[in-house]
A and B are shown apart, each in its own frame.
Chain A
Amino acid sequence: MHVDDGIDKASRTGRAARPLARVSLKRHRESLSALLFLLPAGIILFTFQFLPAVDVFRLSLTDRLLIRPFSNFVGLDNYQRLMTDGRFWNSVGNTFYFVLASVPLQIALALSLALGLAGKVRAVGFFRTTFFLPVVASMVAVSVVWEWLYHPSVGLFNAVIELAGGTPVQWLQSSQWAMPAIIILIVWKGTGYYMVIYLAGLMDIPKQYYEAAHIDGARKWDLFRYITWPMLAPTSYLVLVLQVINSFQVFAVVYVMTGGGPVRSTEVVVFYLYQRAFESFEFGYASAISVAMFLFLVTATILQRVFIGSKVSYER
């Protein structure tokens, strides 16, 4: 999280010790070898990620159907259709529902877990591993298993609810409950990852601050409010940006568990895009959706940077 990293320090001290020309030659050499190291990954990324990503802009201006060998230029027709497409706006609404519920929940849970597991807890390694485990499990495999946990008549969740005397929930069978069911699964699955990032952030806070505050008589809450939370700001900012980008792109769990249903209550933007691309094969229109999505995410990230990122202090 330090901006003030080792390389800068080294070059600063180097400048004082050696003639300028030699330093710049060495720097050239360094950046050349860095570029060479980046090249293999760069070529792969360029060919399979950046090039297609750029091509999407061109495709979004055509009426391309997936495997038909011909297409026409249609200008901004696809974007115009986007404006009045009820199903698209429904998917935008669903996506916001998902993001606004799952992101705060995950951040709160991840931070609580990290705080709990940062101190001297018995079997801390065991708990950290346990909470991290869902992260490494395959999303598809997990979704298939949870589909059974959510099953209305033979699922585990309803069995527990019934044991506790509650009325069983229809979960994925109901357009009210399907989205909460997905959010619960995602929170369970994703929290561990952000917990680890928070743990690293916590380790990074110098102990002296706490000691000093202790001596000044600060209580536990004050320690969190005035030291931990502000010192974690860069971490929280990173977690927030990552989460927002990831959450807006939720797909696999919807694809496996609900297929966007019931009655499109879980049809998120990426899933709708997929349906347009691979079910009706309207590739041009699907491309327009992904361009809109891209523009939105870029805007959201810039806004986050302007309104939150600018307030984040990296100074220690």
Chain B
Amino acid sequence: MKLKLVLLCLVLTGLSIATAQTRIEVWYSLGQNFGAPLFEEFSERFNAERDDIVADAIYAGVYADTVQKAQAAVAAGNPPAVLMLEQTRGPAFVDAQAVLSLEQLISSDPDFDLSDFPEPLLETCRIDGTLYCIPFNPSTPIVFHNKDMFREVGLDPETDVPETWDELLAIGDDFARYNDNGELERRAFGLPTAPTWLFDTWLGQAGGTHLNEQGDAFVFNDEHGVRVAEFWLELIENDVARPFQGAQNNASPDFFGGRQAMMVASTASLESRFEQAEFDIGAAPFWCGEQCYVPIGGANLFITEKSSEAERQAAWEFIKWITSTENTAEFAAATGYMAVRRSALETETMREQFQRRPEARITYEQMESHGHPRPLVPFWNDVQSQITVASEKVLLDNQDPQRALDEAVAEADRLLRVYAR
């Protein structure tokens, strides 16, 4: 009896060795309300479908935490095979040669159709012409508005959401209401000093760029950058907006508390914002300035350089699977992020989603027509904090816009030189 059991065990062990499973780790950084449960479920479904690969989905914390853990893992020579990195964090790993170019894997895979991915999304993965990642959960900022408040001041919430800077300035003070002390209690809009993809948006809309065309100097202190800062001040002077220190969550209680008619936030939060609002809430495209422009946020999937040939292949299979037409559609419908394939928009899942929540379409239209990648430099997070400080100087400390931006650019240029060596 005992002998039989031992034999059985031996046979089973032999079988599992013969099937040669490849085990890979997948580090993701989606919050509970931003698709984490579904991501876990995806990895289980993938494992059930594949006998040859086991993908362990591991939550690595918010975007910033994931970067720190991944840096430690890379430095220790033991990174996960698949890594989810926020838009601005990928370039540091490319710079350190810690992630793999996907060109080889893609060109040797006849099943994979890269042209199904919208070009603006692929641009977020392309550094010096080489593709390093596959988009997974991209987003763009959209304008949320309080329809009740629009009606209250005699505006049409469907047609009167500003489409240009001038319209914003013009309708803005309709919403201004003051308390007994003469302080601005209610207003059209808020200007948080972070996150800086908002500055990216305004800068792009003013016709400016962060880097010059050669990519060897920062130029967001030129007339376009200054124009943004001056327009912000104009909005404040005219009681259209008030500034806020810190992240947008500092402004959202004002929006949800009925003190602010409009706010800007990622389309990823579409569902939760609609649930949170106790008033008739709407969403609209981001307005335009000299031109239309929105930055692309969210995260992408990378394969790490250190992984073995088998792990790379397994990682690629996983990424292909999780960004398949059906799966990306399911993920987009469950969150507010964009599906990464054009074919996904034709699926039943997405059709139902658009029917139920027409506002979910906005981000696709913005992204296809004027979505742009964030600046893809390895030290972008530091430049971001320079931009935040510059915004604080202008919005909260009455300092000269030109000087504030010059100081930010000087530090950004210094880092450009540090990394050029």
Interface residues of A (CB under 8 A from B): 63, 65-69, 147-148, 151, 153-154, 167, 172-175, 178, 258-264, 275, 278-282
Question: Is A154 in contact with B93, judged by CB distance below 8 angstroms?
Answer: no
CB-CB under 8 A for A69 and B97, given A154-B253, A259-B388: yes
Question: Is A279 in contact with B385, judged by CB distance below 8 angstroms?
Answer: yes
Nearest first, the 3 closest Cβ-Cβ pairs linking A and B are A280-B382, A67-B96, A262-B392
Chain B min CB distance to A158 (Å): 11
Nearest residue, chain A, Cβ from B390: A263
Residues of chain A within 8 A of B22, CB atoms compared: none
CB-CB under 8 A for A259 and B382, given A68-B96, A264-B389: no
Among the listed stretches B28-36, B67-75, B143-151, which one makes contact with chain A, having 4 or more residues with CB under 8 Å of it?
Answer: B67-75
- 7 A/B residue pairs, CB under 8 Å, sorted by A: A66-B71, A69-B96, A154-B253, A263-B397, A279-B384, A279-B385, A281-B378
Main DSSP-derived SS at the B contact region: helix
Instruction: Give bound CA distance, A154 to B244, whole Å.
Output: 13
Residues of chain B within 8 A of A147, CB atoms compared: 250
Asked if B415 is at the interface (CB within 8 A of a chain A CB), the reply is: yes
Residues of chain B within 8 A of A154, CB atoms compared: 253-254, 257
Asked if B279 is at the interface (CB within 8 A of a chain A CB), the reply is: no
Instruction: Give bound CA distance, A175 to B391, whole Å.
Output: 13
Nearest residue, chain A, Cβ from B96: A67
Residues of chain A within 8 A of B419, CB atoms compared: 65
Per the CB 8 Å criterion, the residue count for chain B at the interface is 41
Question: Is A258 in contact with B96, judged by CB distance below 8 angstroms?
Answer: no
Question: Is A261 in contact with B254, judged by CB distance below 8 angstroms?
Answer: no
Instruction: Give bound CA distance, A173 to B245, whole Å.
Output: 5
Question: Is A67 in contact with B392, judged by CB distance below 8 angstroms?
Answer: no
CB-CB under 8 A for A275 and B385, given A154-B257, A175-B396, A262-B392: yes
Which residue of B64, B97, B253, B388 is within 8 Å of A261 (Cβ)? Answer: B388
Asked if B15 is at the interface (CB within 8 A of a chain A CB), the reply is: no
Question: Is B415 in contact with A280, judged by CB distance below 8 angstroms?
Answer: yes
Task: Encode contact with A along B276-319: 1 for CB under 8 Å, 0 otherwise.
Answer: 00000000000000000000000000000000000000000000
Chain B min CB distance to A171 (Å): 9
Question: Is A153 in contact with B97, judged by CB distance below 8 angstroms?
Answer: no
Instruction: Give bound CA distance, A178 to B397, whole Å.
Output: 13
Asked if B207 is at the interface (CB within 8 A of a chain A CB), the reply is: no
Task: Encode contact with A along B331-344: 1 for CB under 8 Å, 0 otherwise.
Answer: 00000000000000
CB-CB under 8 A for A68 and B381, given A173-B396, A263-B393, A263-B397: no
Residues of chain A within 8 A of B254, CB atoms compared: 153-154
Nearest residue, chain B, Cβ from A144: B249
Asked if B169 is at the interface (CB within 8 A of a chain A CB), the reply is: no
Asked if B210 is at the interface (CB within 8 A of a chain A CB), the reply is: no
Chain A min CB distance to B272 (Å): 18
Question: Is A153 in contact with B259, judged by CB distance below 8 angstroms?
Answer: yes
Q: Known contacts A259-B388, A275-B385; can you find 4 more A-B pairs with CB under 8 A? A: A65-B96, A66-B71, A148-B253, A275-B382
Instruction: Give bound CA distance, A47 to B381, whole Å.
Output: 30
Question: Is A67 in contact with B74, judged by CB distance below 8 angstroms?
Answer: yes
Chain A min CB distance to B47 (Å): 30
Instruction: Give bound CA distance, A174 to B193, whole Å.
Output: 12
Chain B min CB distance to A170 (Å): 8
Question: Is A262 in contact with B381, judged by CB distance below 8 angstroms?
Answer: no
Chain B min CB distance to A175 (Å): 6
Which residue of B92, B244, B246, B379 is within 8 Å of A258 (Cβ)? Answer: B246
CB-CB under 8 A for A281 and B379, given A153-B259, A263-B392: yes
Question: Is A281 in contact with B92, judged by CB distance below 8 angstroms?
Answer: yes
Instruction: Give bound CA distance, A282 to B379, whole Å.
Output: 9
Task: Encode contact with A along B381-409: 1 for CB under 8 Å, 0 otherwise.
Answer: 11011001100110011010000000000
Which residue of A67, A69, A282 is within 8 Å of B71 (Cβ)? Answer: A67
Instruction: Give bound CA distance, A65 to B91, whole Å.
Output: 14
Instruction: Give bound CA distance, A69 to B95, whole Å.
Output: 10
